[in-house]
Structure 1
C-alpha cells in the first residue's frame, strides 16, 4: 500500500502510537508520520505508507494551522494543562488588550521552545532531562514564522485563536509568551491541528473509521496518492528517454529555457500520468538531478 492517510489523531496518543496502530491495521512495516503532534493535541496527522514515506519530509516542512485555546491566569512548567502550576494571577484582560498584543507575534521571530519538549540534547529528549530534575538549561531559540493570528472567541479566562504558522512553531511557547506580555501568565489549554500542508481537518479520518474502512474495503476512498504532498511544487511530464534516465539515477535536460534556482524541486510524471518522483536543480551542472525516485 502506497499513499497517505489523513488521520485525525485522538487525545492522549503519541504520534508514534498512531503509526504503530496503522502499521498493525495495514500489516505493513513501512509506515511513518509527517509532523509530530503532542499527545494532548488532536487533529491532522498525515500518515505515510510505502513509497509515500519518501515524501513525508516535504509534508513536515509545509505550513501548519491550529485552533488553540489559551488560558490566562495560570502558568505551568510544561506550558500546557498537564504541567505543574508555577504561578496563578487574577485576569482583568479585555479583548482589546489581546488584539493590541497579537501583531507583535506575527512574522519571522526567534521563539524559545518549551523545556518539556522532544528536542534532544546529548541524545536525550529535553523532557526526560527535565523530569529527572536538576538544573536544565532551556533550549536555544529558533526562527519560526507566524503568518496569521485570528481571535475566534474570548470568554475570560480563555482565548480561542486560529493560527497559521511554519514548521517548528511551538504553540505552547506562543501561549506562554502571550501570557508574559499581557501580564497574568497563560498556558495552552487545548490544541487542534486543523491543517498540515494540503491536508485539512474536514477531510481527516479517525482511526476507528480507518479500521472499519480497511475491513469493508472502502479504504481506497481515504488513501491519497504520494504526490498529493507535493502540489506546491512545479510539475513536468517527461518522455520515455528521460523517464529511463530518471529511474536509473541519471541527470535530465529539458528543452525549456526557464530560469531555476539551486535546490528547486520538480514533480515529475511519465507520459501515461504515473508519478515518477522528484528532481532537484543543480546550478553547477545546469541539470535536473533525480532527488527522490518512486518506482512503485
Structure 2
C-alpha cells in the first residue's frame, strides 16, 4: 500500500496526531505528513504512505492557499487566538485603511517567524525557548506572497477581515496578520485559519478522518492517490534496459531518455511503462538517479 492521501485535518489535532491516526487505521508504519499545520488550524494536509514518504519534500515545496480571519485591536504572544493577550486597543480603523496597505505585503517579503513556532534554532524549536522565557535572536526569512485579497470586512469594536492568501512554503499566516496590525498601529492577531490548497491538493477533494475510517471498514482504499499525485516535476520515461540501469544507480545519456516535455528543471519524475520508478537529476547531458523505488 503506497500513495498520497488528501486529508482534511480537523482543528484540535496536530499534524503528527493525524499521522498516528492514519498509521493505526491502515496498520502501516511508513506514514508521514507534508508540512505542519498548527493544532488550531483546519484544512488540507497531504499524508504520504509507504514509498510516497520519500516524495514528501516535493509536495511540501509547493505553494499554499489559505482563508484567514484577522481580528484588529488585540495582540497575542502567539499571534493567534490561542495565545495570551499582551495588548488591547480600540482601533479607529475602516476597510479602506486595510486595503491601502495590502499591496505592501505582496511579492517577496521578509518575515520574522513567530517565537511560538516549530522553527529550529541551535537544535531546538523556537517554542521551547519561548516556554522557558529564554530570549533568542530570530533570523528573518524571505517568503513570497502571490496573492493577498480582502474577501470580507466586519466593522465593529474590534474589526475583523477575511483574507484570501496564496503564498510560498514556509509562510506564517499569523505573522502576516500580526504585521498588518503593527503597520496599522492597532495590533492584530489571526483569529481563524483554514488551508484550502497545498500544491495541487484542494479542500474540495479532501477526505475527513471519518470518511477514511468508513472507507477502510468497507475495504475501499480509493482515497489513496498514486505516487505521482501532486508532484509538480516534469516527467521522462526510460526503456526497460535503461530503467534497470537507473535502478542500479547508473546514468542514461539524454538521447536514451524519452522527454514528455522540454524543461529546464534539474529534477524529473522517471517513469517506466507509466509507473514511477524514481526521481532523476540532470547533470550536463545525462540523467542520474536521485531517488530510486525498487
Is TM-score (shorter-chain normalized) higher than 0.5? yes
Aligned to 1:246: 246
Q: Distance in 1 between matches of 2:80 and 2:161?
A: 14
Aligned ranges 1:108-147 → 2 under 5 Å: 108-134=108-134, 136-147=135-146
Whether the aligned pair in 2 keeps the contact of 1:43 and 1:201 (CA below 8 Å) is: yes
Q: Distance in 2 between matches of 1:247 and 1:3?
A: 20
Give the secondary structure class of the aligned counterpart of 2:246: helix
Whether the aligned pair in 2 keeps the contact of 1:234 and 1:266 (CA below 8 Å) is: yes
Aligned ranges 1:7-22 → 2 under 5 Å: 7-22=7-22
Q: Distance in 2 between matches of 1:68 and 1:199?
A: 18
Q: Distance in 1 between matches of 2:267 and 2:92?
A: 50
Two-structure CA RMSD over aligned residues (Å): 1.6
Q: What is the CA distance between 1:234 and its match in structure 2?
A: 1.4
**1:152 equivalent in alignment to 2:151:** yes
Aligned ranges 1:58-77 → 2 under 5 Å: 58-77=58-77
Q: Distance in 2 between matches of 1:137 and 1:123?
A: 13
1:246-285 residue CA offsets vs partner (Å, 9 max, x unmatched): 1111111132799875x71111211x321111111113xx
Q: What is the CA distance between 1:113 and its match in structure 2?
A: 0.5
> Which of 166, 169, 185 is equivalent to 1:167?
169
Aligned to 2:218: 216
Query: CA 1:41/1:259 → structure 2, altered by over 3 Å: closer, same or farther?
Result: closer
What is the TM-score normalised by the length of structure 1? Answer: 0.93
Q: Distance in 1 between matches of 2:262 and 2:12?
A: 48
Give the secondary structure class of the aligned counterpart of 2:204: helix
Q: Which runs of 5+ in 2 are unaligned?
A: none
Q: Distance in 2 between matches of 1:199 and 1:10?
A: 16
Whether the aligned pair in 1 keeps the contact of 2:281 and 2:290 (CA below 8 Å) is: yes
Q: After alignment, is 125-134 or 65-74 more displaced?
A: 125-134
Q: Distance in 2 between matches of 1:277 and 1:13?
A: 32
Q: Distance in 2 between matches of 1:241 and 1:218?
A: 36
Q: Which runs of 5+ in 1 are unaligned?
A: none
Alignment: residue pair count: 288
Aligned ranges 1:206-285 → 2 under 5 Å: 206-220=208-222, 222-230=223-231, 232-255=232-255, 264-270=266-272, 272-283=273-284
Give the secondary structure class of the aligned counterpart of 2:4: strand
Q: What is the CA distance between 1:219 and its match in structure 2?
A: 2.1
Whether the aligned pair in 2 keeps the contact of 1:71 and 1:186 (CA below 8 Å) is: yes
Q: What is the CA distance between 1:22 and its match in structure 2?
A: 0.3
Give the secondary structure class of the aligned counterpart of 2:229: helix
Q: What is the CA distance between 1:94 and its match in structure 2?
A: 1.5
**1:287 equivalent in alignment to 2:289:** no
Give the secondary structure class of the aligned counterpart of 2:35: coil
Aligned to 1:3: 3
What is the TM-score normalised by the length of structure 2? Answer: 0.94
Q: Distance in 2 between matches of 1:259 and 1:53?
A: 28
Q: After alignment, is 247-256 or 31-40 more displaced?
A: 247-256
Q: What is the CA distance between 1:103 and its match in structure 2?
A: 0.4
* Shift >4 Å, 4+ stretches: 256-261
Q: What is the CA distance between 1:138 and its match in structure 2?
A: 4.3
Q: Distance in 1 between matches of 2:117 and 2:237?
A: 43
Q: Distance in 1 between matches of 2:190 and 2:38?
A: 12
